[in-house]
Amino acid sequence: MKAAFIEAHGGPEALKIVERPNPTARPGEVVVDVRAAALNHLDVWVRKGVPGHKFPLPLVPGCDGAGVVSEVGAGVDHLVPGQRVLLAPGIGCGACARCAEGRDHLCRSYGILGETRDGTCAEKVAVPARLAIPIPDALSFEKAAAFPLAYLTAWGMVVDRCAVKPGDDVVVWAAGSGVSVACIQILKMIGARVIAVASTPEKVARARALGADAALCGTTQDVNAEVRALTAKAGVDVVVDHVGEATFGTSLRLLKKGGAVVTCGATTGPKLEADLRLVFFKSLSILGSTMGSLGALHRLTGLVGRGVIDPVIDRVLPLEKTAEGHAALEARATFGKVVIIPGA
């Protein structure tokens, strides 16, 4: 089969398109013929490398995918060859207390496709059968591949960690990213008021079109002053910030008393410089969040299948242009997801 492949960390040129052996289904697994895969910023970190973290190279990257079951391993009786499925990107052990509680994303051995084992940027992938979730015929493979990691991460932040309520005011940074696009859609479904912040006027306009109640350009506007004006100086209930170093200090200032900032990443860097007095004087919460439960992904699949949530796709590329997709993510030149078609 053809696959994207990373043998050593580096720039987009480190991604090679190679021939790899076809995977086989071990007991409890299925092999899926991948019809669409989607890129995430995690793929960029896997390719570039993260200081202090060891990835199991060589590796086929890719966290998200959708396709058709082509082989079923022993002990799998709920899936059959020919079935259309999407793939849950996260893998818990399935046996510990947290997995049994439905909090598999907190499992000590939790890993992600394309990060801890071969992923979806290939013509075929073998996965534990519980990760393959049936999808309705009306849902395209591209749409099915475009939402699992980003929308599950967004759900984990705003629903599970922050318990956002109808009427809450929420600032969402980096409004063109896959996770932030997902946050805007989920927050509007809940009934929150969304203030999106993007880096260009074009992304500001697209955030408004997506449903944001207000949208600001972070490179030309004073976000703190604009949010104060929009909230009559009260501040907001929640800030979604996965930008990190460049924005976190401002995020704390945007919050009203008792508010919370939630983060799932740090794309501009992990080091923070902030006024700690804000945290205790205003009784603020700083919440971390990574991924979400398999149960939440089943719920999201239902919402997407019914059209309540519509995943946003920026571009669709053949497998041979995976490096181009990585470069677009790094340049922040996307709004929504980059989808890869292995068989194109």
Do 54 and 119 share a domain, yes or no? yes
Rounded to 5 degrees, what are φ and ψ at 44?
-65, -45
How many structural domains compose the chain?
Answer: 2
Domain of residue 331 covers: 2-147+311-341
At residue 159, what is the residue type?
V
234: its two tokens: 């009260």
The runs of H, that is alpha helices, within 29-96 are 41-48
Q: Same domain, yes or no, for 126 and 171?
A: no
Shared-domain flag, residues 25 and 111? yes
Q: Please check whether residue 294 lies inside any domain of the structure.
A: no
**Selection from 228, 272, 294 nearest residue 89 by Cα:** 294
| Same structural domain, 155 and 277 | yes
- Regarding whether 261 and 237 lie in a shared domain, the answer is yes
Q: What is the pLDDT along the chain (344 residues), one digit of tens a residue?
A: 999 999 999 999 999 999 999 999 999 999 999 999 999 999 999 999 988 889 999 999 999 999 999 999 999 999 999 999 999 999 999 899 999 999 999 999 999 999 999 999 999 999 999 999 999 988 999 999 999 999 999 999 999 999 999 999 999 999 988 899 999 999 999 999 999 999 999 999 999 999 999 999 999 999 999 999 999 999 999 999 999 888 899 999 999 999 999 999 888 888 888 888 999 999 999 999 999 999 999 999 999 999 999 999 999 999 999 999 999 999 888 988 999 999 76
Quote the pTM value.
0.92
CB-side neighbour CA atoms (13 Å) of 328: 22
Give the CATH number of the domain where residue 107 resides.
3.90.180.10
In a domain, 297, yes or no: no
Whose tokens are 């929420």? That residue is 170
Whether residues 173 and 194 fall in one domain: yes
Same domain as 143, residue 23: yes
Look at the block and give the residue holding tokens 């890719």: 62
